[in-house]
Amino acid sequence: MSKVDILVDLQFGSTGKGAIAGYLAVTRPYDTVVSANRPNAGHTFIDAKGHKMIHKVLPNGVVGASVRTVLIGAGAVFSVEQLLREIDRLDKFGYNNFGVYIHEAAVVLTDEHKSGEKEYSRIGSTQQGAAQAVIAKMDRDPGNDPTIKHVEINHPRIIVVSPNEYHNKLLLANKILAEGAQGYSLGIDAGFWPYCTSRNCTVNSFMSDMGIPHTMLNTVIGACRTYPIRVAGTSGPHYHDQEELDWEDVGVEPEKTTVTQRVRRVFTFSIQQI
């Protein structure tokens, strides 16, 4: 059954996916929302009452009135503390009608993962520990299991589930919103290595990280912006058909990234990128 709409970024990230995801969930009858976020991306949504939510773990579609199930896929990397903070903030705003089900193979972020990325500043990395966390998982060392399978989370609405239990949640869902992170051009194989993230940012990649079969795919929703951005500093080159601008050229106040709060670089629109 084709029941999954997936939202992806078509550029270098920061195209407003968080706001779009929240809008879609508020205006469409999704009962399940899915993500496999990592700590190097934050997604912002402001509801009709002015409540601002910034999520690095949960999908922003959690604000939908019909949403009852939140799934966090095996490709996710996050800290439990960040997840609890996000749920606590949602509770304060009245968003508490859902359960969070985490695939047992999702990776728990640690301080060691973060400290291992200090040298990545030379390539414009956010240095949040995502790559080191994934490397720890890929090492397959039984004595150093970084997954959430063995972590106890004391919260009544958070449950760590097996692969079969996770898949059953997908099967039982009626309408699903899946949310990708970062942006296509930040993908490790998108042509800007090493100025990139540690995974591909494509529909196929995100669906794999979220454990969603391709037979469930209904619609792909792409987000882009008139003036694409990259993070500050040595974050890499741009496409041949675009130029780097100053924020004065655009005529607006300089933007800052959600995660690092560094001023973004800004560029002209690229047809090649889209």
**Amino acid at site 184:** Y
Q: Which of 14, 35, 205, 270 is catalytic?
A: 14
Annotation says 14 is catalytic: yes
Tokens found for residue 64: 């939908």
Which residues are tagged catalytic? 14
